[in-house]
Structure 1
Amino acid sequence: MSSSINPTVFREYDIRGLVDQDFTLEGVSQLGKAFGTYLLDHGVSQALLGWDSRSSSPAFRDAMTEGLLSTGVDVIDIGQVTTPIFYFARIHFNIDGGVMITASHNPAEYNGFKLALGPATIYGEEIQKVRAILESGSFHQGAGKRTTANPVPAYLAMLHEKIQLGPKALHVIVDCGNGTPSLFARDVMKAFGVENAEFLFCEPDPTFPNHHPDPVVAKNLQDLIARVKETGADLGVAFDGDGDRIGVVDDQGEIIWGDRLMVLYWREILARHPRAKAIVEVKCSQTLVDEIVRLGGQPEFFKTGHSLIKARMREIGAVFTGEMSGHMFFADEYYGFDDAFYATGRLLRILSHSDRPLSQLLQDVPMKPSTPEVRIDCPDDKKMEVVNALRNAYQNRSDVSVIDVDGVRVVFPYGWGLVRASNTQPALVARAEADTPEHLQTIIHDLEHALTSFPFISHIDWSGN
């Protein structure tokens, strides 16, 4: 392995780590050579290259370009874009290969790479094949050409065509968290025909001075909540750092987490696609499962991870699914990839055709006591040790059952608790839900007792802050 790249950055569905510590520019160039070789081995000689607004991204772009070109792969630089615009560009320009330089919602000192081939980004074993090429140091040699292209006008025109709002005018607050969506949010709202939109922190700033661009963490939505309440807006939407995840706040300032948001989307989609197969990510509420069943859908628990879910959707012909973290995958009227701007458009369309406010559209869905998605610091090399130990311990108990498609979802008679290994960070992810606050505390204490038996795991903040 080149000393320029830390081998732990090769994660389940992307490559992500600390700038200068896990990656050097020489290492990024070597990675470009490895991925160029991988592409050529698959008969692909062109690659799109997009990059986010992090301060390290321009230098990484140059190093990645140098590496790819040296193998004979032609590079088409599409500029500073969100990850979904990168996905769209591959379809628009009909180019299979690609690299998106981004660390999504990770802190400012991180960066990373999403590698694309075929219908989606590569993951799992295929990422490890790129790593093996890098370790071998055996690269194709050639002289590729670099050109530029701009997919943004076509992307905006596509959104305008696909999203037709109803008669109700909407007042929308948009929080970009100073991430890459800042570059496009105003034009996207115009494309949707939203005339009354207000923008918070929609200037790119790679230091993220106002709050972290991660809408799954409640504290990052406090400015949005406050502004919705101050203005009486119909809703607030927030985006993560690279624009593939959505966060939503209703007209009362309440956060609508991903699993409740999916209920709104499923009500529209299952009415048009009866008995559709419905992938349910393991972190999601039982109320989502119950609602899918009530609507006539066929739920199936599945792993967390955008690449994994998109692959599963293609396998079973699913028309929609989403993740607790705000990834929403529409394949009924869209391309099947996660795009927070498009997910916003679908939500605005629902609202603009309803005479009820957003807060009332989910009043009939039980709000069970639950924790947010909680991240627990855990060394990368210890995560699976913890998950495997918990799985064994709970499978040996007679008072619970275990769903182990991704980590351990422990089903109690009165709720459930989940612990799984993060695919993107040195952390475990936990969540719990129950029928009463008292039962929720029982599940939390049960999980915490099991987790803190490991010396490297300390007290857990179940508030998610």
Structure 2
Amino acid sequence: MRHRLPSSILREYDIRGTVGRTLNAPDATAIGRAFGSIVRRSGGTRVVVGRDGRLSSLMLEAALVEGLRAAGADVIRIGVGPSPMLYHAERHLEVDGGVQVTGSHNPRDDNGFKMVLGHRPFFGSDIMALAALSEQGEVESGAGGVSDVEMLADYVARLIAGDRLHPLRIGWDAGNGAAGPAIERLVQLLPGEHHLLFTEVDGNFPNHHPDPTEEANLADLKALVAREKLDFGVAFDGDGDRIGAVDGEGRVIAVDQLLAILAEPVLRRQPGAAIVADVKASATLFDRIAELGGRPVMWKSGHSNIKTMMHEVGAPIAGEMSGHIFFGELGGHDDALYAAIQLIRAIGGGGRTLAAMRDAFPDVVATPELRFPVEEARREEVVQEVLARLAADGARVDRTDGARVTTADGWWLLRASNTQSMLTARAEARDQAALDRLIATIDAQLALSGVTRSG
């Protein structure tokens, strides 16, 4: 009954590893046994389970279900679909928890588990407690049942509930991920004209890697938008909770720009509401929220951190630069397909094209996420060293998540990655010369701590 999970798969927000190397069927069974025990000790018995389309997901799901049932939990399987469909099922079925088998946007051979308990994210200390329970062998025993429920039609119907949508011409790139079947069903219910790319679920990801936050992965979508002269295009990651977008001119719309666009109709409905975004987001986003009469809240990166803060401040919408947009009406969960529908509503209701909305944002230049490899033990130490030097220099620093430093040139951020042995940085400025000075400052600060940039 005792099973020690490899420490490398215990991430801040989920459990994730490389199948056949750090994650195997016995691990999945142990995770199911421990999570099922936690559900039962919280007074519940029923767990809904979904999976993405990765080659290893069926095997891992079967092992997970075996463990859940051995703990005495009753399992409801909903099959292949995006993680937001699992969140939908966890909210609307009579269940006590949920697990999605998914590798998200990771490389093909990776896989893992995202968990929800009592309609709240299960992360951080929860995951460490699950691992300790498994290692100690203090798990429940039983003989739970298993059943299958069809959720796709109900999930898609929820996506478009509400007022009729404005007809637009849109490209959709599913990247051969688990959102493909939902997108196929969704566009049949939408007005307008829709062009689909790579909606067949294929865990080999034969066309491009399913991570829409990498611009190289949007090449096919850009070509489609240009060829068909579409209004805009949207793309999704492997489990449908990250969104990417390009406007009618083929320009990438950053996630903080998407959030600014989506916040406008939200704040018309809820004046003065809090809107949460992570520390990597543009200063122009926080300024725009304030201009619209909202209350901008900057918070720590990481989807579980953002979800938790949303609940604390009652925010109707939130986002982070990794492509997640969260909605209060969905219980605070992130759903890239729902974000696409809300983008259609915002464009239709605003009477402007997505390209025009993008042009209305102030001109700034920004880096992508810069990455600095460090030893695991040095991640937090280096950030603290930099903070100490900044304090000695009298710099203007926000310590919400690492160091976000505002200067006359703009701002720069340095933080410890929650998931890798890396420091990550980002900078934004009014022009390239100012951005170059900010980047030089980051490099200089890290050099003083013996760290250099990768790539």
TM-score (norm 1): 0.93
Structure-2 separation of matches of 1:2 and 1:54: 28
Tell me the residue number matched to 1:5: 5
CA distance in 1, matches of 2:421, 2:112: 15
2:226 matched residue in structure 1: 229
Instruction: Report the residue type matching 2:286 in the other structure.
Output: V
Note the alpha carbon deviations across 1:303-354, whole angstroms, 9 max, x for none.
11212211211112111111122211122x5443111111000111122334
Alpha-carbon separation, structure 2, partners of 1:243 and 1:377: 29
> Which residue in 2 is equivalent to 1:29?
29
Distance 1:393 1:6, change over 3 A: farther
Residues of 1 paired with 2:24 and 2:72: CA distance? 22
Distance 1:414 1:277 in 2: 28
**Which position in structure 2 is the counterpart of 1:71?**
71
For the structure 1 residues 231 and 110, does the alpha-carbon distance in structure 2 shift closer, same or farther, using more than 3 Å as the test? same
Contact 2:45 2:96 in 1 (8 A): no
Equivalent of 1:404, from 399, 413, 418?
399
Q: How far off is 1:174 after superposition?
A: 0.8
Name the CA distance, whole Å, in 2 between partners of 1:32 and 1:95.
15
Q: Report the Cα distance in structure 1 between the residues aligned to 2:445 and 2:97, rounded to whole angstroms.
A: 44
2:311 & 2:219 partners in 1: Cα distance? 37
Secondary structure of 1:67's counterpart equals helix
The match for 1:322 is 319
One-letter code aligned to 2:113: F
1:110 is matched with 110
Stretch deviating more after TM superposition (353-362 or 96-105) = 353-362
Residues 389/164 of structure 1: CA separation in 2 closer, same or farther (3 Å cut): farther
The equivalent residue for 1:201 is: 198
Secondary structure of the residue that 2:94 maps to in structure 1? coil
Identity, in percent, stands at: 39
Q: Equivalences for 1:34-73 in 2 at 5 Å?
A: 34-73=34-73
1:184 corresponds to: 182
Counterpart-to-counterpart distance in 2, 1:394 and 1:230: 50
Q: Which runs of 5+ in 1 are unaligned?
A: none
Aligned to 1:97: 97
Compared with structure 1, are the counterparts of its residues 230 and 376 closer, same or farther at alpha carbon in structure 2 (3 Å cutoff)? Answer: farther
Match status 1:441 vs 2:432: no
Using the alignment, how far apart are the partners of 2:122 and 2:27 within structure 1? 20
* Equivalent residue, structure 2, for 1:450: 445
Q: Where do 5+ consecutive residues of structure 2 fail to align?
A: none
Conservation of the 8 A alpha-carbon contact between 1:17 and 1:112: yes
1:231-268 Cα offsets, whole Å, 9 max, x none, are 21100101111101111100111111011111111111
Instruction: Note the 1:267-416 alignment, pairs <5 A.
Output: 267-331=264-328, 333-398=329-394, 400-416=395-411
Q: Per-residue deviation at 1:205?
A: 1.9
Alpha-carbon distance between aligned partners in 1 of 2:402 and 2:414, rounded to the nearest angstrom:
6
Measured at CA, do residues 150 and 451 of structure 1 come closer, stay the same or move farther in structure 2, by a change above 3 Å? farther
Structure 1 residues 181 and 443, CA, compared in 2 at 3 Å: closer, same or farther?
A: same
Cα distance in 2 for residues equivalent to 1:2 and 1:224: 48
Note the C-alpha offset of 1:374.
3.6
Give TM-score, length-normalised by structure 2.
0.95
Give the AA of the match of 1:179. G
Please say which of residues 229-238 and 411-420 is displaced more in the overlay: 411-420
Q: Distance in 2 between matches of 1:229 and 1:131?
A: 49
RMSD: 2.0
Contact map agreement 1:201 1:210 (CA 8 A) in 2: yes
- Return the offset for 1:76: 0.8
List per-residue Cα deviations over 1:51-78 (Å, max 9, x = no partner): 1111111110111111111111111111
Give per-residue Cα distances to partners, 1:358-385, cap 9 Å, x unaligned: 1112322202110123444445454333
Q: Secondary structure at the match of 1:184?
A: helix
Is 1:408–1:418's contact at 8 Å kept on the other side of the alignment?
Answer: yes
Deviation of residue 355 (structure 1)? 3.7
Of stretches 65-74 and 411-420 in structure 1, the one that deviates more from structure 2 is: 411-420
Q: Structure 1: which amino acid aligns with 2:436?
A: Q
The more displaced of 203-212 and 85-94 is 203-212
Equivalent-residue separation in structure 1 for 2:86 and 2:442 (angstroms): 39
Q: Partner of 2:168 in structure 1?
A: 170
